[in-house]
Amino acid sequence: MCGFVCLWNVGDEALAAAMIDKIAHRGPDAVAVARAPHAPVVMAHCRLSIIGPQDGAQPIHQGDDILVVNGEIYNHVDLRAILGESVFETKSDSETILHLSRNASQRWVSQLDGMFAFVLATRGRILAGRDPLGIKPLYVARLGGGFAFASELKAFDGLAVSDIEAIPPGSLFDSDGDMRRWFRLPHGAAEPETGLDEQATWRELRLVLEDAVKKWMVADVEVGAFLSGGLDSSIVAALAARAAPSRLKTFSVGLDGSPDLVAARRVAAHIGSEHFEHAFTPDDVARVLPHVIYHLESADVDLVRSAVPTHFAAALARRHVKAVLTGEGADELFAGYTYHHAYVDRPRALADELTRSLATMHNINLQRVDRITMAESLEARTPFLDRDLIAFAQAIPASLKMRRTDPSAAESTGPTTEKWVLRKACQDLLPHDLIWRKKAQFDEGSGTVEALSEALMIMEGAKAPLDREAEGAVYERLLRARYRNPERVLANAGRWEAGRVALAV
C-alpha cells in the first residue's frame, strides 16, 4: 500500500518531492522521486511494503515507461503465468500493470483483480486508472499547462492547481482521449425467480465469501483483522482465522465496557484469535479530533463520528501488523443500514438503493477507511468488495436481504431482519446470539457518539451537548484550520446522508 504523485508536462523533482512529503504517512518504508528520460513526467512514490518487500520499489521504470501504483493486485500470480515470468524484473504485484498494459487488448485494465490506483506514462501518453469501487483514491488537477495526480487532496494544498476531481471508480483517464468507464456495477436483483432454492443460495454465498477472504489475505506480511463485535467484521475475522497461516490477530476499540468491546471479546474467544483492545476516553477523542479530520479530508458529521473509532483501531493494529481486513461493504451489499428497513416491502426499490449506495462508497465510507488507516501507515482490505462477491451478491434478490420476520423467532432481529441471507450463510461460524445480534453503527456500539459529545463540550467549553449543526460547524472549523485551501477539500468531500432517504412506510 502506498501513496504517489505524478506531474505531467509541468513541474520538477522538487515540486514532486514537496507534494509526496504531504502524504508520506501512506508509505513510510521508502520514498523515491524519478523523472522519465524520454517523457515529460515526474513521479514520486511513498511505499508501505506488503507484497514483494525486497524488490518492489517504485516508481517502476522500464524502457520508456514509468509507473506508480497504490494498492494490491490479487491475481498477479495468474497474470504472471499468462504474461510470462521472464518479462518480470521483480516479485511486486504492481509490475503486472506495466506488462499487462503492453498487451494488445484495449480492455487490459479489466483483467486486474484487486484494489488499486495507478498512473502509467509512456513517451507521449499518460494513463491513470482506478479499481471498480474506488477503494483506492486518485485525484487529478490542472497545473499550469499539464496535469497533476495524487493519492490525497492534501498533496495539492497550497499549489496553484485548478479543476481538481476524483477519477471515478472503474475508470481510465487517457491523455490521448476521454475518460472511459471500464467497469459497470451490476444492478441488483429484486424478487427471486420461480423455484429459487434459498438454501442453495446462501450455501453458495458462503463459498464465495470464503474465497474472497482467502484472496484478500494474500501478502508477504502478516494480515490481521478489525473486530468490532458486529456481524460483518465478525464474519470476516472468523473466516480469516480459518484461512490464516498462523494465529490471527484481531483488534477492537471502544469506551470501557462498551457493547462492541464486550461482543468482540466473545468473538475472539470463539474463533481463537490473538485479541488486542484499546479503551479510549472523551479526553482521548478531544486530543485526536484535529488529526482525524485533517486526514479524513471531510467534515461530514457521520463520517467524522465513524472515523474516530477507526483511528483508534488503526493505531492499535499498526503496532502489531501492516495490514488488516475490515467488514466494509456488507451493509451496502446486504441491506444493513437502519434506513433500509423502510424498504422491506419494496424489493425493487431496495435493490436500486443498494446499487446506488455501492457506487457512492468511494468518497464516503471507503474514503474514511483509506484515509484513516493510511494515516497510521496501515493497509485496510475490504473482502466484501471483491469483484466476484459483488457480482454474486448483486444477483441475490433483495427480498432475501431484508425480510419480514417474527420478532419472537430465534432467527430474527425484530419484525424486519437486515442481512438475512448473509446471516444464514454464516450461521455456523459464530454463536447464535451474535449472528442474530441487532446491528449497531460502529460509532454507536463503540461508544463514540457519547465520547464525542463529551469531547466537544470539553473543546468548546460548553455546559450542554452540542446539537448536530453545531457539531458539524466545529468539524468544519478544525478542517479549515489545517488547510491553506480548505474550499477545495470541502468541495470534493462526500456526505454520508446524501441521497439516503428512507421510503415512507
- Strands 126-130 and 60-62 come out as unpaired
**Amino acid at residue number 447:** G
**Amino acid at residue number 310:** T
23 CB burial (10 A radius; 0-12, 13-18, 19+): buried
Q: Which residues pair with 72 in a beta bridge?
A: 115
Active site residue 2: yes
- Three-class DSSP category at 125: coil
Query: How far is residue 226's CA from residue 442's CA, in Å, rounded to a whole number?
Result: 11
Query: How far is residue 201's CA from residue 395's CA, in Å, rounded to a whole number?
Result: 10
Query: How far is residue 264's CA from residue 253's CA, in Å, rounded to a whole number?
Result: 9
**String of DSSP letters for 138-185:** -EEEEETTEEEEESSGGGGTTS-EEEEEEPPTTEEEETTS--EE---P
Query: How far is residue 446's CA from residue 469's CA, in Å, rounded to a whole number?
Result: 22
Question: Which cell numbers in the block locate residue 32?
Answer: 523515491
Which of 2, 6, 46, 426 is catalytic? The answer is 2
CB proximity list for 486: less than 8 A, separation 6 or greater: 479, 480
Query: How far is residue 218's CA from residue 480's CA, in Å, rounded to a whole number?
Result: 39
Question: Which cell numbers in the block locate residue 60?
Answer: 517502476
Residue 244's Cβ-side half-sphere holds a number of Cα atoms within 13 Å equal to: 22
Residues classed as catalytic? 2
